[in-house]
Structure 1
Amino acid sequence: MEGIKSSIPRKILAFILLTLGDFALFYVSGASFTHGLGVYAGLWGFAAARFVILSVLALFILGDLAPVLIRFIATLSLLPAVYETGTKLLYDGFSECGFSSDWWCWLMGSGASVAAALFWEITIPDADEAASEKKSKQKSRVLFMRVLRLFRPDLPLLLGGLVFLSLAVLCDMFIPFYTGKVIDILGAHYQANEFTMAVIFMGLFSLGGSVCAGGRGGLLLCAVGSFTCRIKLKLFETLTKQEIGFFETIKTGEITSRLSRDTKSMGMTVCLNVNVLLRTFVKTVGMISLMMSLSWKLTFLVLMETPVAGAIQNVYDTYYQRLSLAVQDAMAHANDTANEVVSNIQVVRSFNAEKHEANRYNQRLKTIHELKIRRDTVRAIYLLVRRLTGLGMQVLMLYYGRLFIQRGQMTAGNLVSFIMYQSDLGDNIRTLTYIFGDMLNSVGAAGKVFEYLDRKPEVSTEGTLAPDQLKGNIQFKHVNFAYPTCPGKSVLQDFTLELKPGQMTAFVGPSGEGKSTCASLLQRFYEPQSGEILFNNEPLKSYEHHYLHKKIVVVSQEPMLFTGSIKDNISYGLKDCTDREIEDAARKANAHDFIMLLEKGYDTEVGEGGGQLAKSERQRIAIARALVRQPQVLILDEITSSLDDDSEQKVQPQCPNQTLLVIAHRLKTIEGADQIVLIGNGRVQERGTHQELIDMKGHYYRLREKLSTNGHSP
């Protein structure tokens, strides 16, 4: 902090000395330099000398030259030479400042240089910023360029829009020009032919501008629609590839907000702002050219507003962008709260927490409201200052315009044309500074989207192993695991176990001791912190992702069905699944009989989340969905809680050639298992058949006795 405070006076001193040095150099050496060496050599020689002297002076005072300072000195030095050379080539003459050392010329040249340097700084990012493309540290300009690169497939539409844009701008630019001509014709010697031609040209340019503007808007809106669909699909694909731990740490409301709202904002705001930016830029350049032909003095006077407007805009952008990002985050939190309550409305109702949730949601809305008030207040102050600046410039322009008419340097018609151009030019310059800032604000939403797009899943899916023949041998070797949400709490500790092909293994034990965690690790929802899991003597991560999830299938206690028919849910994720295979799987899952009793059979709609079916029916369809894949390893996680004894016995014996893993609290369910594993404290405490464990009279025996004593079916 002390270093920053000490550098501020130094920078102020440097600014003062550089300003005085440049004015002295301009006043003493400008004209003499030009006359001494000849016109062009003098102009460019003085520009080079000015650049070297100012750079050396800045280096001596500051000790280092920042890139932005080098760019400003280069612009300040070269702009007069470029302008005078262009004036000579286009108009065969120099401006009044070409050979003058007047302070007025120095002031106008400095103002134009500041405007050019500011526009350069806004539009062209530094190389070091482009190299810092890292997640949350991404700069707004880098993000914006990245969004533009995503529009590459829509290049034909964008080019077509650019052509229409250029034509519309050209038509709009000439309307004020012919308006001034009409006034001069009416005020001087009236010529009917000249008046008619001027009116006809005005009408043609107006019609052409309207038609081209419509074509431009249509093509760009098509590009926006195409971009939005493409980026939504790309983000959705990226999200579905993330590990399960990612969804446990990120709120659902935030994800849906990025997917629905921010992707649309990226396409709409950026593309439409680029449209406005290009149109305004082309129009501004053309207007300045026409204004220079009417009065270069008034043009320089008008351009002096640009640095002031740019400084105001930069201050506004800093605060507005920060508040806009805060509003986006607050809205994501509010959406998450609403989604959470709607998803768990039964729990909210059962605990009489409606008022509590309404208050919680109200607090979220109040936060959004307060942030929006602050954001809108900043915008209101900015608009007020911007309008006052424009009004002051208009007063100055009218004052000097009257003087120039009195001196015969311009006509009344030229002044009217100039005023019309100046009105549009002021709006265009403010639009240029505003629209670029607005684009930077809009890519704030893109920052979160790119964070998701750039994120690499912590659980890799890059395995390639997919053998034709596979046995269902599973080995846990010294596995240690803790969930990402609670990294300090170990769920499995030095867990070692083997599941043999063709056998039924049952996991029993108290809740929260690691039984379902083993099933999650087998599905590669997570990676163990140490140890490894082998499938057919190969690490799980070596297998191709889709192949692995076809060979290892889990049916959970609370199966989720998707909106659609029973047939669609059984064949979910399979491209070439026949009706015969679907029916065979349903028979094995003891679901065929109740399905055929339904009015539409396998074409019956299950409703959202399977809500049209009973819990036991959803369970059987989920089992059929697993069996239709003909998995090598089938995991049944607490499914028997929703099945009666008859259905339970009909489901499990249908897997004679598979490795069957059953996780259950009902001990009667797994008495016939080939291997019963009692898990406690994240370790294998006991292992054996039902009779072997009873004879041991250990933890399993005591657990069975406890359940019998409490009146539960063992």
Structure 2
Amino acid sequence: MALLSAGLLPGVLLAADALALVLLAPLVPVLAPLGLVGVWLEATLRLPVLAVAAWLLAPRHPSRATAAAVTVATTPAVFGTFQHLLGQPGAGPGLLATAPAWLGVAHAAAALALLAWAAPPVPGGVSETPGDVPKSPGTVWRTLALTWEERKVLGAALLCLVLAIVARLCKNLSLRLFSHLVHQDLDFFQGTPAAELLAQFSLEVPRVCMSVPMGANQLLRSLVMAVVVGTFMVGLAPGLALLALLEVPFGIATHRIQSARKQALQQSMMEASARTAAGVQESVAAIETIRIYSAEKEEEEQHRCNLAKELKLKEQMELELAFFTLVHRVLQLFIRVLVLFRSHQQLRDGYITPGVLVTFLLYQDRIGSHVQVLLYGFNEFLTNAAAGQKIWEYLDRKPTGSLGGTREPPELQGHVTFQKVSFTYPGNPEHPVLKDVTFEVRSGEVTALAGPNGSGKSTAVALLERLRDPGSGTVLLDGIPLPEYEHQYLHRKVVLVEQDPLLFSGTIRENVVLGLEHCKESELQEAATAAGAMDFIQGLEQGWDTEVGEHGGRLAAGERRRVALARALLRRPAVLILDEALDDGDEGAAQRWVRAGLAQTVLVVSHRPRVLDAADRLVVLGHGAVVETGTPAELRERCGAYSRLLLGGDSTGQPEAPRLGSEKGAASGRR
């Protein structure tokens, strides 16, 4: 019978709907211009006819009949509304009377729904009597009850989902932060301790990422419960509820003050921890120097001072936490005493009953716990989110130099020109390191850059490598300013090798072919032979597959330099820069590399007379300016600055800013 009724009801509704549309036909000219309003007016006018027909057919199930009538009446209007809101192409919502096809669609959907929800025949042929009342709970509650039995599995699944979200947030934020930092200028890295950057990745990034899903889950759950319980309290006793809810604004005020103080102290704490870690890192890196000068006691005292500062900040944080906790507990106690006093008055005057009072107090205790979770959770959320303030500062920082060049010519001659270049380090703006420096490094030649300490040689190399940009003037490569070249292309064509370069953990082969693809074995061996590295590599037990250790520590300094030279020559650079990378026995190597086509132009920075005399041309710097240029023989005959330099005179000059050292060479090699 249920299936029969479910199949008969759609037919009756269809007939009733057709009758309603016939009766509404005269109103079509009035409703059509109204658009969406007209569609809903038509549905409203159809609804009484459909409801009466459905109720006459199924008087024992009025709710089912009403639901069917409402569904049939509103389905076209709802679809038209969504079509209008979503901006679907085509005509706007129209009346059902002007689109008869919709009549069949709406009623067919209703018929399928009624047939699907109809009660199935009772097994055993027992018919359902009109007075039967279902004894079992509804399917929704039974499904929820069954779900609750699997709460442990669902809880584990939810936990895994939260952890997955946190992992993805950490990954994305770490990647974005690292990608942004590697494009910063060198002044940023010189002014920021490495330990501070490491702390951001190891501590602050996970902390910020954990605060988002955990805090949102906790705050949303407590907020919903607080609103629900608060509504019940207002329903029981509005006056008492207003008094009890005074705890919320007072709690928010105290926690906001506490949060501001905690954020400030936490920032100071993080900076102190970074200083401590930086001191440890520096001491470990310079342990040989500490041992040579017997400075162990001084380093211990410095570390003790750093730890004392951290401890002082931590104690201050704990004291302020205790103070604000005391203030909040006193306010909470005062409000509860006030509620009890007022409830006693209302109970005495008969405004509330003892049962209402007991229920209200239970609700108050319940809402108090949720408010506490809200306040502490929100405070913790703000604190954790504020811990990432330094991260957002790093992400918002823009590098001073521009890396937006696009030029990638197929060939470069390697002709370098310095045109009236001046440069001043940001930390010492009153003393320029280079002043209107102009010289050339010609293609196919070996040019040596000489001068006393502090004359600007390393700064000139940094400008040519575009590790820095000149304050004024221009550095040209083949007549084109360096900023116009694409960043990666430029550093494949201009390669630097320093006196003590860093290698990366891995094998010798991996360090030499770093960043190159499809490198031929013959090219690899040619570069290693030209760099003088082939003999010692073949003498190793594992040859090219020998592990060099962290920073190449398993190799001697000379072996590391040979590997770095092989790495540079394998790239066949247009400009090869050798910063104190040649010994006295290598004075003729640069010319051989140019003749063999392994490098088109070589710029040598050295203080060794034999290396300088082997160059094709010399550029002598003094006090940040070019004082002499010419061949070694010409400069010897002049008996000027170059001759005094060879004799050991004029060895002083204004100091340059601290050099990047091996880090600069590592960055160049990685490029």
What CA deviation, in whole Å up to 9, does each residue of 1:653-680 have, x standing for no partner?
1222411011111110132211011111
1:202 deviates by 13
Q: Pick from 251, 266, 269 the counterpart of residue 193 of structure 2.
A: 251
Q: Which of 464, 467, 471 is the aligned partner of 2:413?
A: 471
- Give yes or no for contact 1:284–1:429 (8 Å, CA) kept in 2: yes
2:567 is the counterpart of 1:625: yes
- CA deviation profile, 1:38-70 (whole Å, cap 9, x unmatched): xxxxxxxxxxxxxxxxxxxxxxxxxxxxxxxxx
In structure 2, the residue matched to 1:358 is 300
Are the counterparts in 2 of residues 590 and 651 from structure 1 also a CA contact under 8 Å? no
SS in 2 for 1:469: coil
Deviations 1:618-668 (A, max 9, x none): 000011111111110000000124xx61x5544651222411011111110
Matched, 1:221 2:163: yes
Instruction: Give the match's secondary structure for 1:440.
Output: helix
Q: State the partner residue of 1:458.
A: 400
Match of 1:383 among 305, 311, 325: 325
- Quote the residue 2:592 is aligned against: 653
Per-residue deviation, residues 527-560 of structure 1 (Å, max 9, x unmatched): 1111111111010000000000000000011101
- Give distance in 1, aligned partners of 2:232 and 2:344: 19
Structure 2: gaps spanning 5 or more residues: 1-134, 136-141, 650-671
**1:27 alignment partner in structure 2:** none
Match of 1:117 in 2: none
Q: Any residues of structure 2 matched to 1:75-224 within 5 Å, and which?
A: 214-224=156-166
Q: Equivalent of 1:299, from 220, 238, 241?
A: 241
Deviations 1:441-495 (CA, angstroms, capped at 9, x unpaired): 2233222111111111112111111111221110000000112232222111110
Secondary structure of residue in 2 paired with 1:605 = coil
Structure 1 residue 281 corresponds to structure 2 residue 223: yes
Instruction: Provide the C-alpha distance between the structure 1 equivalents of 2:412 and 2:477, rounded to a whole number of angstroms.
Output: 9
Maintained 8 Å contact 2:263/2:387: no
Change (3 A) 1:458 1:639: same
Q: Residues 577, 426 of structure 1: CA spacing in aligned structure 2 closer, same or farther, 3 A cutoff?
A: farther
Residue of structure 2 equivalent to 1:686: 628
Q: 1:552 aligns with which of 494, 511, 515?
A: 494
In the alignment, which of 202, 214, 236 is matched to residue 178 of structure 2?
236
What pairs up with 1:461-540 in 2 under 5 angstroms? 461-540=403-482
Name the structure 1 match of 2:613.
671
* Bigger Cα displacement from structure 2, 221-230 vs 381-390: 381-390
Could you report, residue by residue, the CA deviation over 1:533-589 in whole angstroms, capped at 9, with x for unpaired residues? 111101000000000000000001110111111111112233443444333321221
User: 2 CA distance for matches of 1:545 and 1:489?
Assistant: 30
Deviations 1:94-149 (A, max 9, x none): xxxxxxxxxxxxxxxxxxxxxxxxxxxxxxxxxxxxxxxxxxxxxxxxxxxxxxxx
| Cα displacement (A) at 1:303 | 0.8
Distance of 2:571 and 2:269 partners within structure 1: 46
Cα distance in 2, alignment partners of residues 447 and 433 from structure 1: 21
Greater mean deviation of Cα atoms: 477-486 or 251-260: 251-260
Residues 24-63 of structure 1 mapped to structure 2, 5 A cutoff = none
Aligned residue in 2 for 1:597: 539
Q: Secondary structure at the match of 1:461?
A: coil
Q: 2:551 aligns with which of 609, 617, 626?
A: 609
In the alignment, is residue 571 of structure 1 matched against residue 510 of structure 2?
Answer: no
| 1:324 corresponds to | 266
Once the two structures are overlaid, the 10-residue window that deviates more, 446-455 or 398-407, is 398-407
Q: TM-score, normalised by structure 1?
A: 0.67
Q: Deviation digits for residues 254-299 of structure 1, max 9, x if unmatched?
A: 2222222221221123432222212211221222233344444443
In the TM superposition, residue 506 of structure 1 has moved relative to its aligned partner by 0.6
2-structure distance, mates of 1:559, 1:280:
58
Gaps of 5+ in 1: 1-192, 194-199, 708-714
CA contact (8 A) 1:245 1:525 kept: no
Larger Rg computed on CA atoms: 2
**Residue 465 of structure 1 aligns to which amino acid in structure 2?**
R
Counterparts of 1:385-404 in structure 2, within 5 Å, are: 385-398=327-340
Q: Which amino acid aligns with 1:545?
A: H
Counterpart selection for 1:339 from 267, 281, 284: 281
Change (3 A) 1:280 1:207: farther
Report SS of the residue matched to 1:655. helix
Determine if contact 1:459/1:525 at 8 Å carries over to the other structure: no
- Distance in structure 2 (CA, Å) of the matches to 1:290 and 1:215: 33
SS in 2 for 1:248: helix
Cα 1:296–1:315 shift into 2, 3 Å = same
- Cα separation, 2, equivalents of 1:503 and 1:456: 38
Aligned with 2:439: secondary structure? strand
Query: How far apart are the structure 1 equivalents of 2:236 and 2:152?
Result: 26
From the superposition, tell whether residues 442 and 456 of structure 1 become closer, same or farther in structure 2 (CA, over 3 Å): same
Query: 2:24 — aligned with what?
Result: none
Q: Secondary structure at the match of 1:464?
A: coil
Rate the CA distance shift 1:529–1:202 in 2: closer, same or farther, 3 A: closer
What SS does structure 2 have at the residue aligned with 1:519?
helix
Distance change in 2, residues 1:691/1:218 (3 Å)? same
Kindly provide the amino acid, as one letter, of the partner of residue 429 in structure 1.
V
Distance 1:626 1:606 in 2: 17
Q: Aligned partner of 2:592: which letter? A: P
Secondary structure at 1:676's aligned position in 2?
A: strand
Specify whether residues 616 and 310 from structure 1 end up closer, same or farther in structure 2 by C-alpha distance, changes over 3 A only: same
- In 2: Cα distance, 1:445 partner to 1:343 partner: 29
- 1:301–1:216 distance in 2 versus 1, CA, 3 Å: farther
SS of the residue 1:567 aligns to: helix
Q: Secondary structure at the match of 2:419?
A: strand
CA distance in 2, matches of 1:288, 1:564: 64
Q: Structure 1 stretch 375-384 or stretch 415-424: which is displaced more?
A: 415-424
Alignment of 1:692-703 (within 5 A): 692-703=634-645
Once residues 404 and 217 of structure 1 are traced to their aligned partners in structure 2, the CA distance between those partners, rounded to angstroms, is 47
Q: Residue 582 of structure 1 aligns with which residue?
A: 524
Q: Give the Cα–Cα distance (whole angstroms) in 2 for the partners of residues 629 and 459 of structure 1.
A: 26
Amino acid at match of 2:196: E
Size of the aligned set, in residue pairs, is 506
Kindly state the Cα deviation for residue 377 of structure 1 after the two structures are TM-superposed. Answer: 0.6
Provide closer, same or farther for how the CA distance between residues 418 and 213 of structure 1 changes in structure 2, counting only shifts above 3 A: farther
Query: Closer, same or farther in 2 for the Cα pair 1:227/1:464, shift >3 Å?
Result: same
SS state at 2:392 partner: helix
- Contact 1:245 1:485 survives alignment (8 Å): no
Asked if 2 retains the 8 angstrom alpha-carbon contact of 1:249 and 1:485, the reply is no
